[in-house]
Structure 1
Amino acid sequence: MTTILAAALASPAAAETIRIASFDPELTRKGPGLLLRDIQSGKDNQVLAVAMVIAKVNPDVLLLTGFDWDHDRAALRAFTQLMARSGVDYPYLLAPQTNRGMASGADLDNDGRLAEADDSQGWGSFTGQNGMAILSRIPLGNVVDYSEGLWRDMPGNLIGDALSPEAKTVQRLSTSGHWDVELLTDPPLHVLAFAATAPVFDGPEDRNGRRNHDEIAFWQTHLPNAPFVIAGNANLDPVDGDGRHEAIRNLIENKRISDARPASAGGAAAADAGQSGDPALDTADWPDDGPGNLRVTYLLPSRALRVTGSGVVWPTDEEPLYQAAAVASPHKLVWIDVEIAD
């Protein structure tokens, strides 16, 4: 009895397993208040499909990278109430205003007109359109918000001649935001959340391609001295589609980062002709005459964490969640299970 007790006391504490997910549900509408209306109606097929996908995975921490922001977090609170009715509770919410739809006061796209969606700090036709939010069962600690940092101030940036001298004085790096969010686990785990601009929809100056590169590269010099998971929509595939692919490849290959390579059978089955990357790793299902299927959403844990599971919610057409995942969003929810231990 004494020997058994002594052995138990000498054993390390059981590691805590946390499921983290990142999802761009495209819960964005054409005007303020419309998303809240659709959630409260209880009849919006897309809203209900998004809720079904999330409930199936049931993550402990969820980053949404496509969700309209409002001052009172009314839409987010209504959505969490909808989730709660499915038995999925998130008592801790984080949704500061992002750069999406925030007026810059400058002609950022150099078209001679002001106060357009392209002149916002991050593209948006109204304040907070297509913002970000974190939903968590785990209490949140310190939050460092880097979103006000100017693009020109980032060391080694690729801004070049992509902006006018006036635009360079106001243009922020973050399209949506860059957040370092501490989860009060033991030891604390940091979620490094972001959503980068798409590296398209510009001209030969490659403004969006350059900015996308630098939004991803930002994390190379902002990794905490603690366990972390980089989470979000990088809007960039390592090999396929448009953009400066070296940005995401360099991040994945950082010596402090591991890539669990979350995969799905649905992505593998939907492979595009001529695709160079592994289609099982894809996280977005866009038309073949457009971007095609790409890996753009990532969960990249630090090597201090042990990954015990991962996946992408992209069911095959024979699986029961197939229709819900298709209706929810062209993007697919990505998840990983990580073990936290001293």
Structure 2
Amino acid sequence: MYRKTAMIRMTLALALALVGVSFLAATATAQTSPTESPAVNTLRIATFNVSLYGKRQGQIRERLSRRDDLQAERVASIVQTIRPDVLLINELDHEPDAAPARLLAENYFAVAQNTADGKLSPVVFPYVYSAPSNTGIDSTLDLNNDGQLGSGNDAWGFGNYPGQYAMTVYSRFPIDTASIRSFQKLRWKDLPGAIRPVDPNTGQSYYDDATWSKLRLSSKNHIDVPILVGDTVIHVLASHPTPPVFDGPEDRNGARNHDEIEFWNHYLSDDDTADTWLIDDDGRAGPLDADASFVVMGDLNADPIDGSGRREAIIRLLNHPRTRDVQQNKTADFGRNGLMRVDFVLPSKDLHVIDSGVFWPTGDAPQSTWIKASDHRLVWIDVKR
């Protein structure tokens, strides 16, 4: 069982404060120290799908290196306005050296953006974790049953190149890198009650037994990133499930979206069987500790009321005994498909929420041009411990 005592957490926090943080190679990187010590009384936590992906591998790294990318400037303007202490970015390329994540922080977040009223203040994130992703990694299987191999639809998670649509955690507080948990390789079939897609035209399983036995649950990843805020550990539980569309009558993406969200319902619950299947990529087993503080974050691609997805899992998550649903506004504008609530920051009930919001300026506000960066909006909460 994966457990960490409070004494170990306090000792680790003290050690990190004294000697600094050693980051995981290829997935995390340190930035320069902030100019002021973060306040620990109030913590602002945010999630933002920024749609920073390219048509080919390396394109986003090249764009962010130039320091003049309009989309990234707009994203940074929003971040510098809201000024989160902990920020999850969805749809930012992952590379083994975390270059896109680092460049976005150094060349945009940490550089004052221009506005009509002057410059915004930089936001410096000393700690960054760029999570590996299943997107674009070839499964060598015919996952969309088109008789061909090697397309983006045949990757473990849809993507035209490895690392596309990945996610990054930025923090002003130390990240306990040694305790990060990643469930990138967890098999879909191992989730209790997994929904195996069925072709309604034949009544047969869409995936044959050989394929079903290998499929991964996460279209990107499911990660547990512990943030050390003083003597408190807050777990960022982040994911970005596949959209419940772009499939056929078998509803394979709808089923996967549901089960990617259902993972968190299991991870937050006391399940006697969890040690037999809930095993992370480093072999550590079991759910989150029952007394742990956390936020479930990300673009979950599931509106509990609207849309064509299976709503049962997201409704269970919003009503889970350990979560608090404090922000119920729409968070994305999908054009003809309308406004939807698909981006979430769900804190544990032991965290005292004092404010929350969605960055969505009106059409006549000077900041309204910034939201052209993405069809999603930044969602945030303020908490006290």
Q: Give the distance between the partners of 1:15 and 1:33, measured in 2 at CA.
A: 37
Of residues 162, 181, 193, the one that matches 2:238 is: 193
Identity %: 41
Of residues 68, 74, 79, the one that matches 2:99 is: 74
Of residues 163, 167, 171, the one that matches 1:128 is: 163
Q: Deviations over 1:101-133 (max 9, x none)?
A: 111111111111111100101000100011111
Q: Which amino acid aligns with 2:221?
A: G
1:1-342 correspondence to structure 2 within 5 Å: 16-82=41-107, 83-86=109-112, 87-141=122-176, 142-160=179-197, 161-185=205-229, 186-223=231-268, 224=288, 225=290, 226-261=292-327, 281-288=329-336, 291-325=337-371, 327-340=372-385
Deviation at 1:139, TM superposition (A): 0.4
Q: Give the distance between the partners of 2:235 and 2:314, measured in 1 at CA.
A: 20
Q: Give the distance between the partners of 1:109 and 1:219, measured in 2 at CA.
A: 26
Q: Give the distance between the partners of 1:98 and 1:62, measured in 2 at CA.
A: 18
Deviation at 1:164, TM superposition (A): 2.3
Deviation at 1:78, TM superposition (A): 1.1
Q: Give the distance between the partners of 2:257 and 2:315, measured in 1 at CA.
A: 13
Deviation at 1:44, TM superposition (A): 2.1
Q: Which amino acid aligns with 1:130?
A: Y
Q: Deviations over 1:207-239 (max 9, x none)?
A: 000000000011111122211100011101011
- Give 3-state SS (helix, strand or coil) of 2:263's partner: helix
Structure 2 gaps of 5+ residues are: 1-38, 113-121, 198-204, 269-287
Aligned residues: 306
Q: Give the distance between the partners of 2:99 and 2:321, measured in 1 at CA.
A: 41
Structure 1 gaps of 5+ residues are: 1-13, 263-280
C-alpha RMSD over aligned residues: 1.3
- Give 3-state SS (helix, strand or coil) of 1:303's partner: coil
Q: Give the distance between the partners of 2:99 and 2:185, measured in 1 at CA.
A: 24
Q: Is the 8 A contact 2:240 2:299 kept in 1?
A: yes
Deviation at 1:15, TM superposition (A): 6.8
Q: Is the 8 A contact 2:139 2:155 kept in 1?
A: yes
Between 1:30-39 and 1:294-303, the stretch displaced more is 30-39
Deviation at 1:171, TM superposition (A): 1.0
Q: Give the distance between the partners of 1:154 and 1:292, measured in 2 at CA.
A: 32
State the TM-score, normalizing by the size of structure 2. 0.77
Q: Is the 8 A contact 2:92 2:166 kept in 1?
A: yes
Deviation at 1:47, TM superposition (A): 1.3
Q: Give the distance between the partners of 1:150 and 1:295, measured in 2 at CA.
A: 28
Q: Give the distance between the partners of 2:366 and 2:314, measured in 1 at CA.
A: 33
Q: Is the 8 A contact 1:163 1:207 kept in 2?
A: no
Q: Which amino acid aligns with 1:335?
A: W
